[in-house]
Amino acid sequence: MSILQQASFVYVGIEDETLLIGFADDEFETKEYVLFQKSLSVEDIPILNKVHITINSENRSAYGGILRIILSRKLVSIFLSKETASLLGVSDIVDIKYNIDEIEFNNLTSHFHKLNVNKEMIIEVK
């Protein structure tokens, strides 16, 4: 079973040597969000080199456990390991609907590929 979120705001960027991809219900008064983070520098602790995912709260976050991401122009599907889904308090599939133009989609796709530099997950673009 999957959960579905609607994102009216999509963010991609690099801040403090950290790659960020975020989906939120609102840019300023955010209540629901999914945030991906990956340090661009190599850390001494191996788990810190994995993609970090947060859903709605720092209390619902984890390193690694993202198995697959399917990206299309209006929907991203995130497939999580059972362990990570349990840590995040969600089902093992998270679907996020959004609406961005072709340039923004290409930028989003590019950032997901940079996020996956260590090939820890499968990324499909449709």
Instruction: Give tens-digit pLDDT for 24-43.
Output: 999 999 999 999 999 988 87
| Domain with 99 in it | 2-125
Instruction: Give tens-digit pLDDT for 79-122.
Output: 999 999 999 999 999 999 999 999 999 999 999 999 998 899 99
- Rounded average pLDDT over 41-49: 83
CA-based angle 53:75:40, to the nearest 5?
35
pTM: 0.92
- Number of structural domains (the chain) is 1
